[in-house]
Structure 1
Amino acid sequence: MPATVIVDALWGDSGKGKTCAYLSRRDDAALAVRAGIGTNAGASVTLDDGTEIRARQLPTGWLNPGTRVAVGSGVLVDPTVFADEVARFGLADRAMVDRRCAVITPEHIEREKADDHLIKVVGTTGTGTGPARSDFVLRKAKQARDLDELRPYLGDVAAEANRIAADPGQLVIIEGSQGTLLSLALSDDYPYTTSGNCTSAAAINDVGLNWQHLTEVIMVVKALPSRVGEGPLPYELSAGEAERRGIAEYGVVTGRPRRKAGAIDYDLLEYSASLNGPTSIALTFCDHLDPAVRGRRTADAVSDRVRRVIADVERATGAPVTLLDTGPRLDDVIIWTM
């Protein structure tokens, strides 16, 4: 089990963090690495005791006690956010940041919040990732190795990921961020995109993983898609309808309401699959599609409505659905083999 990539098929907020945490525990992953842009996207996981875990910098794989966590060199690091998560989750002896990561500074955050185009037109999160990425491309940004406070955590994440992935008895999980259809160079929705690509190939590039180690691409498909910020959302529901159905959601980073769709656009899903090459699908938020499956954990509980969507997703992606997310708790998951 050398390396698995978890990638979002659509516009993000699909449960990649929960999927990473679940697989890290199930498969006892040796290392989980965060890919993506930076701290502009978050993950939330609810434990069975009701404790909610929210993270923006580190992957959620640490919920398995034997899994180390790291930030890939292509990911922007905010030292304040990194330090907060290391402290909150007790990860001082298990966290690593690649020494080559570009750094988000308070000045980057101020620049983004003051940029009317980014905030009002694009609808960015105001976390400084756009300006920091711009400075990195222009070779003006600081790197993690330049900051004393990050020194205890510095390492070569690419070398470590490839070393572990070369051992057939160990597993590396790469947790992507945001969603394929927010990719800077691949989305037709520009400028309503993020500042980089969010595909499986982009994720292994962010980490520096040798492609020959990649054995699985799990594409996460949200049963009722959502989108934060501006840009088109096919089959969009009104905010009132989402509230009426009890499926309203709010962003981990900003707290903004997520725009909700009433169905999947299968043409877009097929396009996303062509970009990512999934080997399997995790179908998430099935309880938003059919409340009857909420919290269920056995295959016999899967309703006909969910089964129809499984079949449609498999036709569009050419990959089998193997995981069903049925509720907010970490173990609200069904292993699907039919």
Structure 2
Amino acid sequence: MTDATAATGNDELRLRVTRLCWEADGVLSLTLADPHGNALPHWQPGAHLRLTLPTGVERHYSLCGDPADTGTYRVAVLHEPRGRGGSEYIHRFLRPGAVIAAGRPRNNFPLLPAARYLFVAGGIGITPLLPMLRAAEQSGAHWRLLYGGRSRASMAFLGELAGYGDRVRVSARDERGRLPLAAALAEANASAPAHEPVAVYCCGPEGLLDALDEQCAGRSGLRPHVERFKPPASQGVEESNTPVEVRCVRSGTTVEVSAKESVLDALLASGVKVHGSCREGICGTCEVTVRAGTPDHRDHILDAAEREAGQVMYPCVSRSLTPVLELDL
């Protein structure tokens, strides 16, 4: 093995913190490397990294460095004192030299080929877009970035973005008021040739993502792609469940899932090895291949075509439309 998996012999990585850097008020970047100097697993723009902190807390952060750099990963963490403890630990206690566990990069937000892009970032949502800008630039595509935040002092990576000139529009709320999202989308839609929709990539607060989805609806010139770190509030209504029988093809285990438990919890209780993290259908860690049956998709990762194909599911939230579901476990 030539990459960092050699340290563990499986999909788990051990990464050393080599550098911490303040990127803005409340935003700290971490540079991570293999402790033995091995090359790190490859990744593509849009990928995220699961970090397991010494406290046992798991958090997912977008990779915001250069995919061509096989020696280091970079993530950026917004300090959220009222959060669930991940950013608080990183900001208060993590120091260069610390070694932490991580998963291999996963990508639920891939950058698809396009001739024209509009990137929209809100606050820390700039992180997954940074590698996308680099890729769009290298491909020769026409692109623009609209980047909003409370103030310039709170907006990370402005120095890096300055090199792109007027293709980047920075809109700090204390200077310009609300982010001019509607105007940017209308301009992109009007400029798109009929045969060439603009790929719109957006990451940021839920209100921004909901507004973008709403304003892109009915505009044939725009093709939206968003990454969520929380389930949409409008989709938080509890859905009715029915019991399901899950057959694990490789292990030969059959698991009865009651209406009161998730498929993931039932699998874990039966000793089936499935890694889960967010338990909200947004991180993709628990992805499993479906061998037979029809999944009831309740995640916020798959698009319509992927749901129709029914090849994978996320058992932390998704269930089954058929009485029996066979999984490649």
Per the normalisation by structure 2, the TM-score is: 0.32
Q: Which has the higher strand share?
A: 2
Per the normalisation by structure 1, the TM-score is: 0.32
Q: Which has the higher helix share?
A: 1
Higher-Rg member (1/2): 2
Higher relative CO (CA 8 A, sep ≥ 6), structure 1 or 2?
1
